[in-house]
Structure 1
Amino acid sequence: MGELNWRRVKLGEISDILIGGTPSRKKGEYWDKDLKTDNLWVSISDLQSKYIQNTKERITDEGIRNSNVKLLPENTVIMSFKLTVGKVAITKRRLYTNEAIAGFLPKQQNTFSSEYLYYALSNLDYKDSLDVAVKGQTLNKEKLKNLIIMLPSLSEQRKIAAILSSVDEAIEKTEVIIEQTEKVKKGLMQQLLTKGIGHTKFKKTEIGEIPEEWEVLKIQDFALKVTDGEHKTPKRTEFGELLLSARNIRNNMLDLSNVDYVSQEELEKITKRCNPEEGDILISCSGTIGRVCVVPKGTKFGLVRSVALVKIDKNTTNSKFLMYALQSPNLQKQMMLNQSQLAQANLFLRDINNLKVPFPSLEEQEKIAKIIETFDLKLTFETQRYHELNKIKKSLMQTLLTGKVRVKVDDEVMSQ
C-alpha cells in the first residue's frame, strides 16, 4: 500500500495557528515608512515567491504594542486565508503578518518539515472549505484547523520536499532565462527597427530617426490589400471549419485553444472578401488592439470583424519583418493614438492603412527578421520547457504528497 506509515492529520493537531493583524492606518507613528526597523509586516501582495525575505511595509515598535500582530520566527510556513486563499510562503526572517495571513508553528519538534508543509498546503483544494464574505472568499480559523494533509515520516518529508524544490529551482532558472531573453529581444528590436544593420548615416522623419536609405511608407503604399473579417454574424456550428476572432491573435502566433466553427459553405461565403493565406499579416483590431501575427502554412480559417488582414507583395515586403515592425513601440503607439473608443476599443481599416512603417530594402528586411526570429525561437523553446516543468511539478505533487509514490531516503522509489 502506497500510504503505509503515512498519517492523515488535521493542521490543528500538528500546529498552532497564529493570525496576524494590522496597526491603525490613522496612526502614522505605527508605520515605519522609512523602513528603518526590522519589523517586517507581510500582506498578501508580498506572497509572490516561495520565501519571504523582505516586505513592502514595516511597522514600528509602537505599532506592535498597540495591535494584535504576532511575531513569527524564521522558517515559519504562512498562508493567506482571506480574499486570495491559498498563497503559501516560508519566512526567512522573523516577521509579522496582517489578519488575512496565518502562520503554522509546530506543536512538537520534528513533527513536520516547513518545506514539506509548504508543498502540502500548496497542493490542497480549498473550494469545499470556503465561505463567501462581503469582500470575497475566505476561510476561518476553525476551518484552517480542520484542513487535512498526509504526513509521512520526517525523513520522507524532507526527501519529498527536496525533489519538489529541485523542480522549483529549474522552473525559476527557466523564468530568468525567459525574462533575460525578452529583455535582450526588446532592445535588439528597437535597435534593428530604427538603426538597421551597418548604417552610418541617418535622417530625421515623422516617426523618428532612421537610416538614410530607408523610406517611411504607409501600409496602403505597399500592401496589396487591407481588409477585415466578416461583419455579419456567421452561423456557427459545434464543429467544422475554424472561425477566428481577436482572442485568437497573439503576438507571433495563432492561439487555437478557444475557437468557433462554421460549416464549409459558411466559410466559403466569409472568405470571398477576406481570405487569409500563408504570409498574410493579422492584427487584432477590436477589444485588445495591436496583437500581430503571420498566417502560418497549412491553416485554413475564416475571420470575424475583430481581426484585420494585410496582404503583402512578397517581392517588396517580408512578412516577419512587417510583423515585428507592427509590434514595435513606435507602431503600437500609432495604433493606440488612432483607436476609437466606443463600447470597446476599435482600430478601423482607414487607420491601419495610414500606419507609418520604417521600410528598408527587402534584403535588409529579411536579415532583420531572421535575427529577431532567433530570439523568438529561444523564447518558444524556454516557454515550452517552463510549461513542461510545471506539468511535471503538478504530477509529482499529486503523487508524492499523497503517498501514491513513495520515496526512500536512500533514493530508492517504491510505487503503489
Structure 2
Amino acid sequence: MKDKPSNNIRLNSSWSEDLIKNIGCVTVGGTPSTSIEKYWNEEIPWMSSGDVHLKRIYDVPGRISELGLCSSNATLVEPPAVAIGLAGQGKTRGTVALVLLPLCTNQSVALIQGKKDKLDIFYLFYNLEFRYQELRSRSVGGGRAGLSKSILETLPIPIPIIKEQQAIASVLSAVDRAIEQTEKLIAKQQRIKTGLMQDLLTKGIDKHGNIRSEETHEFKDSKSILGRIPLEWTIQEIASVLIQPPKNGYSPSESEIWNGIYILGLGCLTGEGFKPRQLKYAPVNNRRIEAALLKDGDFLISRSNTRALVGFVGIFKDIGEKCIYPDLMMRLQFSNQVLNNYMEQVFMSRMMRRQIENIATGTSGSMVKINAKAVKKFIFGMPSLCEQKRITSRLKFNYDYILKLKLSLEKLYLQKTGLMQDLLTGKVRVTDLLDQTSTTST
C-alpha cells in the first residue's frame, strides 16, 4: 500500500498527490578515496554540491575514473534528472538544478529521476524550486541540518496529467530563457561599461564626440601612474579641487524609535554609487547630528571597510527624510573646477581603486581604513568642465541602459514567481493561460 502524502499547499481539486518514491527514483552519491590517484581525473563527470548553483548542468568540473565509480557509493545516472543539494548552512541545501548529462555525484547531492508517463522531470524541477524554503524546513540535524534520501522519497508532489506537467514546465522554461538572455545582456553591458570608463577617464572625448587616440590626437606623458594623457588635460591631486578638508560623519547610538532622522549605513555606498539602504533611526537631534546632516548632492566616501569595498563613493540623493552620514564615511566638497558626477566616475575607476587599495591600512584581517590625508593625495586626470560633461553624459547613457535591463530582469523574476504560484498549484490552469495568450496575439 502506498504511503499517504501530506502537503500544506492548496491544490486544484482535480489534481492528485503522490510521494516521490512512488513516481520517481532518488539516488544519493558518494566520494572515492582522495588518496588513490587512479580514482580521479578520468572520464566520468562527478558533481559536487556547489554545482547545483549552475541551475542547468551541461557539464561539471569534477571527474572520476571507472575504478573510482566502482569503489564508492557514486552511481552514474542518465539525464534528465533533478539534482538537489542535501547539506550545508548556506544556500546550497535545498537548491535544485536540472542535470542534462550522464553523471554521478558526491554524498551531498541527490539525483531524482521520474517514472515515465507519471512525472515529467522538468515539471519536478520547477515544483522543487518553488518549494525551496519548505525543503530547507524539512531538513534534520540541528546546526548542520541536512536533507536525506528518505526525506526526499516521502516528499509529496502534486500530480496533474503528464501533458499538463509538460505544459507548465514549458511556460516556466520560456520565462527562464528570457531571464538568462537578459542576465547575459546585462553582463555584456557591464563589460562594455568597464572598458568605456577606462577609455573615457584616460583618453576623454573631443569636441566632436570622439574618444581620443594617439593616432589622431596629441598626448603627453603625465609622469604619473596615469601614463599618457590628452595634451589638454592636467594631473591633479584631490586636495587641489577641494574647498575644505574631508570631514568625517557622526555615529550616534541607534534609536529604537523614529525621531525624524536616518543614519546611513556603510552599505549605502556601493560599486554603483549611492543606494538608500541599511538606514537606521537616529536619536533625538543634537548639535553633532546637525553638523552631519546631508544635503542633496553631497559627495560621500567610505573610509573603513574591507579592502575591496573601502573608498566606495556615492552622491547623496534626497530620500524625503533627513539623513546623517556615519563616522566611517567622509564628506568631500569639490570646487567648481570639477563636476560631482565626474568625480564619482573617477573614484569608481580602476586607476583610483588601485590607489585606494594600495594605501588602505589596518590591523584587522578584514577591515582596513583610509584617512583624509591619503584621500587628498590621490591623483586623477582633469579635463575641462565641458569635456567632463561630455564624459559623464556618455557614461550615463550606458548606465541608464543597464538600469533599464535590470528593471526588466526584476519584472521577469516577479512574473516567474507569480506564474509558479498559479501554475504549480493549479490555481490557474496552464491551458487557460495558453488560451489567453493565443486570444491576445490574435
Given the two structures, how large is their TM-score scaled by the length of structure 2?
A: 0.86
Q: Tell me which residue corresponds to 1:223.
A: 242
Q: How does 1:303-322 map to 2 (within 5 A)?
A: 303-313=325-335, 315-322=336-343
Distance in 2, Cα, partners of 1:123 & 1:252:
31
1:80 is the counterpart of 2:103 = no
Q: Which runs of 5+ in 2 are unaligned?
A: 1-9, 206-211, 437-442
Q: Tell me which residue corresponds to 2:351.
A: 330
Residue number among 368, 372, 389 corresponding to 1:345 in the alignment = 368
Q: Tell me which residue corresponds to 1:289.
A: 310
Q: Over aligned residue pairs, what C-alpha RMSD do you find?
A: 2.2
Q: Which runs of 5+ in 1 are unaligned?
A: none
Percent identity, aligned pairs only, is 26
Q: How does 1:10-409 map to 2 (within 5 A)?
A: 10-32=19-41, 37=43, 39-83=44-88, 84-106=92-114, 108-124=115-131, 125-132=134-141, 136-197=144-205, 198=212, 199-209=217-227, 210-231=229-250, 233-234=252-253, 236-239=255-258, 240-262=260-282, 265-266=285-286, 269-272=288-291, 274-287=292-305, 288-296=309-317, 300-313=322-335, 315-343=336-364, 344-408=367-431
User: How many angstroms does 1:169 deviate by?
Assistant: 0.8
What amino acid is aligned across from residue 380 of structure 2 in structure 1?
V
Distance in 1, Cα, partners of 2:199 & 2:273:
23
CA contact (8 A) 2:27 2:149 kept: no
> SS in structure 1 opposite 2:201?
helix
CA contact (8 A) 1:245 1:305 kept: no
Per-residue CA distance 1:137-182 (angstroms, 9 max, x = gap): 2012211112222221111111111111111111111101110000
> SS in structure 2 opposite 1:256?
coil
- Check 1:298–1:398 CA distance in 2 against 1; reply closer, same or farther (3 A cut): closer
CA contact (8 A) 2:254 2:280 kept: no
User: How many angstroms does 1:269 deviate by?
Assistant: 3.7
Distance in 1, Cα, partners of 2:142 & 2:58:
31
What amino acid is aligned across from residue 426 of structure 2 in structure 1?
G
What amino acid is aligned across from residue 260 of structure 1 in structure 2?
K
Per-residue CA distance 1:185-231 (angstroms, 9 max, x = gap): 00011111111223432313222222222112111111113434434
User: How many angstroms does 1:87 deviate by?
Assistant: 2.0
Distance in 1, Cα, partners of 2:251 & 2:116:
69
Per-residue CA distance 1:233-284 (angstroms, 9 max, x = gap): 2563522222113121123443223211225734x64242x44333332112
CA contact (8 A) 1:20 1:101 kept: yes
> SS in structure 2 opposite 1:138?
coil
Distance in 1, Cα, partners of 2:344 & 2:334:
11
Deviates more, 1:115-124 or 1:253-262: 253-262
Larger strand proportion, structure 1 or 2?
A: 1
Distance in 2, Cα, partners of 1:139 & 1:182:
38
CA contact (8 A) 1:2 1:406 kept: no
Distance in 2, Cα, partners of 1:383 & 1:410:
26
> SS in structure 2 opposite 1:324?
helix
CA contact (8 A) 1:276 1:309 kept: no
CA contact (8 A) 2:352 2:380 kept: yes
